[in-house]
């Protein structure tokens, strides 16, 4: 009796990401489907650790990129999730959201887009009123670079222009849109799209803006500290908030996947409190915390199975590139 072929997916992840993502439940479920998840030591050549049918990674740096390109050139059938050049676009908060503005998706009832925003490259511009154009306060100030580091997560909700002088460019200044204290996190895994609700920054009454001083610092819009808000109130908002139309989220996810050429990402959506059918995409993240997504083990295992089996049949999964493409780019 012919033995069923097993597939090897090597994963290169930072320790914190590996700890949260590579759970025993995921490893065991993948093993039952004939897929072995194998850790990659980025300090050693991939050629000494393979063979791999697929490399799953969230590691940055030129050395790793060169190692991955070299291994892909030697293994043309290798699946790579995802290409470093595609991931790089999400490291810049201007270029990441520009993709949303370029999507051509027709909706009859809903509209979506991005909040008004500008980029500030030097401290002198922060003191120049003309640099802000028609941007209205309050605004959210975010580091331009979004590389997953602790520094890139340090944001501020700024109520008045004078407080911007305390910040260090380069920054993206984005108009804050009141959205009922609820954010929708949309997880994308290939063709799979799942939306979950999370608490967010509270609304800012514009009529009381003059009486608010300073700024509010935070690390993530959907991860506010408990002492900043009344938990019971925001829990009720979280439960009562109506989900955005799944068809709209699926259309956006499909458009982003094709434009970005990525398979593992999530995007954050808010609903304008002043217009129930108007939505804004405010952030896109590569390879997010999938362990927070319901049934993530099943979803990811199905995705892995499709990747390795379709490539065996010489039928590439959309936007998943292999050694041949990297060899052309090189």
Region for residue 30 given its phi and psi (left: phi exceeds 0; alpha: psi -120 to 50; beta: otherwise): alpha
Say if residue 285 carries a ligand binding annotation: yes
Say if residue 181 carries a ligand binding annotation: yes
Q: Report the C-alpha gap between 138 and 162 in whole angstroms.
A: 12
Say if residue 178 carries a ligand binding annotation: yes
Say if residue 186 carries a ligand binding annotation: no
Give 121-124 contacts, CB < 8 A, sequence gap 24+. Answer: 121/169, 121/170, 122/169, 122/170, 123/165, 123/168, 123/169
Residue 84, CA distances (Å) to 42, 62, 91 in order: 15, 10, 11
Are 312 and 6 in contact by the 8 Å Cβ rule? The answer is no
Q: Report the C-alpha gap between 270 and 135 in whole angstroms.
A: 19
Say if residue 31 carries a ligand binding annotation: no
Say if residue 183 carries a ligand binding annotation: yes
Say if residue 189 carries a ligand binding annotation: no
Say if residue 153 carries a ligand binding annotation: yes
Say if residue 16 carries a ligand binding annotation: no
Say if residue 227 carries a ligand binding annotation: no
> DSSP 3-state helix, strand, coil percentages of the chain (rounded to 5)?
40, 25, 35
Give one DSSP letter per residue of 25-65, joined into a string: HHHHHHHHTTEEEEE--TTS-GGGT---SEEEEE--SHHHH
Say if residue 324 carries a ligand binding annotation: no
Are 30 and 36 in contact by the 8 Å Cβ rule? The answer is yes
Are 141 and 118 in contact by the 8 Å Cβ rule? The answer is no
Say if residue 175 carries a ligand binding annotation: yes
Say if residue 182 carries a ligand binding annotation: yes
Say if residue 179 carries a ligand binding annotation: yes
Are 329 and 85 in contact by the 8 Å Cβ rule? The answer is yes
Say if residue 180 carries a ligand binding annotation: yes
Say if residue 310 carries a ligand binding annotation: no
Torsion of CA 312, 315, 319, 325, to 10 degrees: 70
Say if residue 151 carries a ligand binding annotation: no
Say if residue 292 carries a ligand binding annotation: no
Say if residue 287 carries a ligand binding annotation: no
Say if residue 142 carries a ligand binding annotation: yes
Per the annotation, where are the binding residues for ATP? 93, 142, 174-185, 200
Per the annotation, where are the binding residues? 17, 58, 93, 142, 153, 174-185, 200, 268, 283, 285, 289
Per the annotation, where are the binding residues for 1D-myo-inositol 1,3,4-trisphosphate? 17, 58, 153, 185, 285, 289
Per the annotation, where are the binding residues for Mg(2+)? 268, 283, 285
């Amino acid at each position: 009796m012919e033995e069923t072929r097993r597939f090897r997916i090597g994963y290169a992840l930072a320790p914190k990401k590996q700890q949260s993502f590579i759970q025993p439940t995921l490893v065991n479920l993948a093993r039952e489907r004939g897929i072995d998840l194998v850790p990659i030591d980025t300090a050693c050549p991939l050629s000494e650790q393979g063979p791999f049918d697929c490399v799953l990674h969230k590691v940055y740096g030129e050395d790793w990129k060169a190692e991955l390109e070299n291994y892909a050139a030697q293994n043309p059938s290798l699946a790579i999730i995802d290409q470093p050049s595609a991931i790089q676009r999400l490291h810049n908060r201007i270029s990441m959201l520009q993709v949303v503005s370029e999507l051509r998706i027709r909706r009859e009832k809903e509209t979506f887009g991005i909040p008004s925003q500008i980029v500030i490259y030097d401290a002198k511009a922060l003191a120049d009123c003309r640099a802000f154009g028609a941007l209205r306060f309050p605004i959210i100030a975010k580091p331009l670079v979004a590389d997953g580091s602790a520094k890139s997560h340090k944001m501020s909700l700024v109520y008045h222009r004078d407080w911007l002088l305390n910040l260090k460019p380069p920054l993206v200044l984005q108009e804050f849109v009141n959205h009922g204290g609820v954010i929708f996190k949309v997880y994308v895994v290939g063709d799979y799209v799942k939306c979950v609700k999370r608490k967010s920054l509270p609304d800012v009454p514009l009529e009381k803006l003059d009486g608010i001083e300073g700024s509010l610092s935070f690390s993530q819009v959907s991860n506010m500290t408990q002492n900043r808000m009344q938990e019971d109130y925001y829990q009720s908002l979280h439960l009562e908030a109506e989900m955005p139309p799944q068809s709209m989220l699926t259309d956006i996810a499909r458009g982003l996947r094709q434009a970005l050429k990525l398979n593992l990402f999530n995007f954050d959506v808010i609903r304008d409190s002043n217009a129930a059918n108007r939505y804004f995409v405010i952030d896109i993240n590569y390879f997010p915390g999938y362990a927070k997504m319901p049934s993530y083990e099943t979803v990811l295992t199905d995705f892995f199975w499709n990747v390795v089996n379709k490539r065996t049949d010489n039928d590439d999964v959309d936007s998943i590139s292999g050694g041949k493409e990297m060899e052309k780019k090189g």
